Amino acid sequence: MVEPMYAMGKAVRLARMVNPESNKMMAITVDHATSRGIAPMTGIHDIQGAIDKIVAGCPDAMTMTGGIQKRCWGPHVGSGISILHKISNYAPTSPTSDVVFGSVDAAVRMGADAVSLGCITLGDFQNEQFERIGEISEYCDEIGMPLIGHVYPKGESVPKDQRASWENIAYCARSACELGLDVVKTTYTGDPESMAKVISCVPSSFRVVIQGGDTPAGLEGDALLDYYMAMTRDALDAGCGGVTMGRWVWDAEDVTALVIALRRLIHKGYNAKQCMELYKTVKSEKNYKDYEIL
């Protein structure tokens, strides 16, 4: 059977952002400033420098807004790294409602391989966000553009200690699937067993990837990296289809070395110990180009 043209377009673009060997996606995101404020995001104060360091580690994709893409992506056109074009964000003063400020058409014009938007569920603004996502999802289907949702259960009805419960994360993942998205980025539940429950609540063809999220209090340096490396390994073992991470990556002492090491954890099956050992080796030797190809 011949696939509809829009389905072929989605398939081509999705394939670009997924490693063909592992069938996992590794994306690094730099879209935090409008939602969280720029002052605390020291790793992306110099946004061009941050992007350059990330690109040198060769992730599969990067998430950024159109404004940053226009001003900072030029040196990396042709790198083979997919752009996930972010078209919405919440504000520090309104953290439970993502507002759309970009467009699918702009993403197409700028060569993106996917459109990315956010949604805060189980709160006062869920209905209007769902309505807008449904409209965007339908248009993305019409033109063959993949749609990625950053979906978190952080609405007014959810206590802070329930934002990573498997029930609430499963609701986010299933809602994203039912709204027609192709990939959902959401929160890790804390252990592989409960994360596997989340994965069981969506069709096998629907990709669930995890965010890094807020840094646990008291963790820094190698202990912080160990925590996130182990979390990533556990999430992949539970059936997650990859990661879309930001803060802990671009806040690292050597961003490029960390991206290189994380690629091998995600695509080569490294465990957290192997990932840390490689990170330290590359950080010490600065031989980044030796690792451009997996």
Q: Please enumerate, as own/partner, the contacts of 132-140 that have beta carbons within 8 Å and a separation of 24 or more.
A: 132/100, 133/179, 133/181, 134/179, 134/180, 136/87, 136/100, 136/104, 137/179, 137/180, 137/181, 138/180, 139/104, 140/104, 140/115, 140/180
Rounded Cα distance between 209 and 232, Å, is: 10
Q: Which residues pair with 94 in a beta bridge?
A: 91
Residue 90 annotated among the catalytic residues of the structure = no
Give 42's Cβ-side CA count (13 Å radius): 3
Please enumerate in sequence order all residues whose Cβ is within 8 A of that of 217, keeping only pairs 6 or more positions apart, or say none: none
27, two tokens: 């994306």
The catalytic position among 152, 171, 228, 291 is 152
Rounded Cα distance between 216 and 102, Å, is: 32
Residue 152 annotated among the catalytic residues of the structure = yes
21, two tokens: 């060997």
In 24-182 the beta strands, taken as DSSP E runs, fall at 25-29, 61-65, 82-86, 88-91, 94-100, 114-120, 147-152
Tell which residue, 97, 142, 136, 130, has the closest CA to residue 116: 136
- Within the chain, how many helices (H) and strands (E) appear? 12, 10
The catalytic position among 10, 24, 154, 185 is 185
Angle at 198 between CA 195 and CA 200, to 5 degrees: 115
Catalytic annotation, residues: 152, 185
